[in-house]
Amino acid sequence: QSALTQPASVSGSPGQSITISCTGTSSDVGGYNYVSWYQQHPGKAPKLMIYEVSNRPSGVSDRFSGSKSGNTASLTISGLQAEDEADYYCISYTSSSTRIFGGGTKLTVL
Amino acid sequence: EVQLVESGGRLVRPGESLRLSCAASGFTFSHHAMSWVRQAPGKGLEWVSSISSSGSFKYSADSLKGRFAISRDNAKNSLYLQINTLRAEDTAVYYCARDLWPQYYFDYWGQGTLVTVSS
C-alpha cells in the first residue's frame, strides 16, 4: 500500500496561514475519521497535533486545525510562527486494520 | 508523567536478529494498546506494528510481515519488537508510542532507538 500523498514542502511568512493536504483513498482517509497529524522537529520524536481529523489535544495551540473532505485531509496552521518550522506527517487507519503515513511535508517559515 | 524509553538498538550485520524493548511508566500500561513506528535516516515515518492492551490482537505492515513480531509483557510494563533477518533497509530509528484505540492515534512517543544494519 502506497503512502498517503502530502506535498513535499510548503512555506509561508510569519503571521500567514498555510494548509498541508493529505490525500488517500476510500479505504483509508475517506473511509474513516481516524486521521491524525504529527509535528517533528529535527532530531526529535514526533508530537501529536491533531487526532480524529479535527480534534486538538490539550496543550496544542488553537492555531492548528484539521479538516477532511472526501479522500483528502488537511492541516491548517494560522498565524505562522518561527517555531512552527518542522516536518508534518498525517496518518490514517485503513480498512485492513493497519495504519498508513503520509510521506511528510517540510514547512519552512520564511 | 508518561514516559516511554526504548532500548536495544545497535549496529548489527545483515541477516542477524534483534529485539527492541520499550519500558513504559507513568500510566497503566495494561490498559493501553501500543505501537512501533520507524524512521530511516532522512526519510519519513513508517508504521511498523500495533498490539492491543492484552496482547491478543496484533497488526503489522504488510511489507514487514514475517520478519517483525510485536509483543508485550504487562507484568513488566514493557513492549517488544523482534526483528529477524535484518536488512540494510531496516536501518532506522525505532519509536514506541502509546496508541489510543479505537481512535487510532499516538498520544505519547519515546525518543527512539537507532538500529544500524551494515556489514
Task: Convert the pLDDT of each residue in A79-105 to its tens digit.
Answer: 999 999 999 999 999 999 999 999 999
Report residue A41's pLDDT band, with 50, 70 and 90 as the boundaries.
very high
- The verdict on a CB contact (< 8 Å) between B112 and A96 is no
On whether any CB of chain B is under 8 Å from the CB of A110, the answer is no
A20, A98, A99, A100: which to substitute to probe chain B, counting the most B Cβ within 10 Å? A99
Strand pairing class (A105-109; A9-12): parallel
User: Which of A51, A101, A103 has the CB atom closest to B105's CB atom?
Assistant: A51
Are the beta carbons of A6 and A105 closer than 8 angstroms? Answer: yes
Is 80 exceeded by the pLDDT of residue B82? yes
Residue A49 CA to residue A78 CA, distance in Å, equals 14
- The verdict on a CB contact (< 8 Å) between B95 and A46 is yes
Which residue reads 513480531 in cell numbers? B69
Residue A38 with chain B: CB contacts under 8 Å? 45, 106
Report residue B63's pLDDT band, with 50, 70 and 90 as the boundaries.
confident
